Chain A
Amino acid sequence: MTEDRLAQSHNPLLSVRDLSVAFGGIVALNGVSFDMQRGHILGLIGPNGAGKTTLFNCLSRLYQPSKGDILMEGASILTRPPYRIAEIGISRTFQNVALFPNLSVIDNVRVGTHSRSNGNIVSDSLKLGQVRRAEAALERKVDEILGYLGLRGVAHAVAAELPFVTQKRVELARALAAEPKILLLDEPAGGLNHDEVHGLGELIRRIRKEREMTVLLVEHHMGLVMSTADHVVALNFGRKIAEGTPSQVQSDPQVIEAYLGNKNR
């Protein structure tokens, strides 16, 4: 078992190494390191302002770290512009939902396939044979994803007109359409009721298994993280305060302190 772990950790899918980010005086991330193993669901927890979304934004190359590195399959991603992250297999959802509000659900998901398709304005304008064939293949793929997430009924609705919870699901569909190796989910349970959270946990595990994705899950809903994640990293004030199995992290005194201390504030 330990040997197995060791062998795995030599070859992580993603490595965050000593990552620091500062905004003026605020240190949002401070020397954070952890590895993500292929096929794992990694829970990332921490009180408000701990730096979870900031870490996501570094992975999407929206924020430039002041120190440290991020390695995807051994290669640094920090040399890439933001639009060249999807192609190496990192796809995300946003905490506050960042859909294309005026586009239909199906068009949102179609945009999700951008990094997995080719084309240019000339052949697209002329609708050449290869464009038609590519669109046909894309339609099958998009329809499969809509069906997978139960979104076929709203496929042609304008994204902005849908309830928040449905929008979150559309965002998940869009992220899946990019066929990522790593799926980054920033508080996917926001706005869900108890039963729906349970269903979401199952869905995330199914996605990992059936679509062979590694998941980085940011969630405040402790029940969801503890029941879904294989491994948990806890942040507080930009620092990693604990890492381990869900039960290890849950019983870690620093984690308990961070959450209790936060509640008292």
Chain B
Amino acid sequence: MMVDASRKAISDAPPSDADAARTMRLGTGTSLVILLLLLVAPLLVKNFIVFQLTTVLIYGIAILALNILTGGSGQFSLGQSAFYALGAYTSAILIEHAGVNYALTLPISGIVCFAAGFLFGLPALRLSGVYLALATFALAVATPQLLKLGALEPWTGGVQGLVVDKPDAPFGLPVSQDAWLYYFTLAIAVAIYIASVNLLSSRSGRAMMAIRDNEIAASAMGINVALYKTLTFGVSAAITGIAGGLGAIAVQFVAPDSFTIQLAIALFLGMVVGGVGWLPGSLVGAAFIVFIPNVAESISKGLSGAVFGVLLLVVIFLVPDGARQVAQACRSVIGRRKG
């Protein structure tokens, strides 16, 4: 009875505006305000914080990549750390062993990771839901060990890893290395965000979301389900790889133990906190995984893990849909004020 009544209430309510293109991004005005804030932020804080903000942007890119995979095509991955590592190592090796310009290594890392993601996506086609998550989990667990392999040591530096030079600002621009790196990362993040919004609101993106919602109906509409699932894996891996490459440049160091399953879990967590399928939430999720552990530590050094867990639970209980839910609430409050 209750359920029926509430269903009726839903169907009588004015239809919510639910176009994929609109629900996954922010309006132009809000986007510009946020961009402006991101542009001035480094001017207001210390260099160390600028570095942390760069880290937020980099994780934001990686979470966005996961969001495309999970929010877009409905596939789960606990293995994003593997693609992040592959991107990081590809950039580091190209910079240190081949002397390639750091900026040029990023598209290469993207392409390498696209291929890896696409190939991993092929066998993963046979798996779905929990089983896919498990397979990607295995990938994440195996990655640090593969990076330590003796045969690869001449390139990877084995357990020691590789040190990467920090780039200076080009053209003699009067900004610190940290600030340059921040703006460089921001430019890439903005480009990737715009391309992702374009992708998800296009024919290809609709095909991905159709697969997420109903595979049988999708294939009846002419969508090659296997192709789009693997393509999405490839795209997600490519973007994660670019984030990894940026990470290597920012941290100036790659080593196998930087890319454990913990990283994959952090990215997954960031996606949930930001709101699955809501691309701007990726940035909020990234801020959460970068700053909240520090907050937890400042509350209790010995029990920082437990405090982090409690904070996470609070977020999940209060806003199960993450930052997206907060944004929606804000929008409806503002709408009511105006109306």
A residues whose Cβ falls under 8 Å from a Cβ of B? 60, 62, 81-87, 91-92, 94, 98-104, 106-107, 110-112, 114-115, 117, 119-121, 124-127, 131, 134-135, 138, 154, 156-158, 161-163, 174, 178
Contact = CB atoms under 8 A, between A and B. Distances in A.
A117 B203 contact: yes
25 contacts: A81-B219, A81-B224, A82-B220, A84-B222, A87-B222, A91-B220, A92-B220, A99-B217, A103-B18, A103-B206, A104-B17, A104-B20, A107-B20, A112-B221, A114-B203, A114-B221, A119-B203, A120-B204, A121-B231, A124-B199, A156-B15, A156-B17, A157-B15, A161-B11, A161-B15
B214 interface: yes
Contacts of A60: 220
Contacts of A174: 221
A158 B18 contact: yes
A57 to B, nearest CB: 9
- For B196, B221, B231, which residue has the most chain A Cβ atoms within 10 angstroms? B221
B209 A154 contact: no
A156 B18 contact: yes
Contacts of B224: 81, 83
A106 B204 contact: no
B328 interface: no
Q: Main SS of the interface on chain B?
A: helix
Contacts of A134: 203
Interface of B: 10-11, 15-20, 195-196, 198-199, 202-207, 209-210, 212-214, 216-225, 231, 235
B225 A83 contact: yes
A95 B122 CA distance: 32
A156 B225 CA distance: 25
A86 B195 contact: no
Contacts of A126: 195, 198
B198 A107 contact: no
Nearest to A163: B11
A164 to B, nearest CB: 10
Contacts of A85: 220, 222
Contacts of B11: 161-163
Contacts of B198: 124-127
A111 B221 contact: yes
Contacts of A117: 203
A115 B210 CA distance: 13
A127 B203 CA distance: 11
A83 B219 contact: yes
Given A98-B214, A158-B16, 11 more contacts: A91-B221, A103-B20, A104-B18, A110-B203, A110-B206, A114-B221, A120-B204, A121-B204, A161-B11, A161-B15, A161-B16
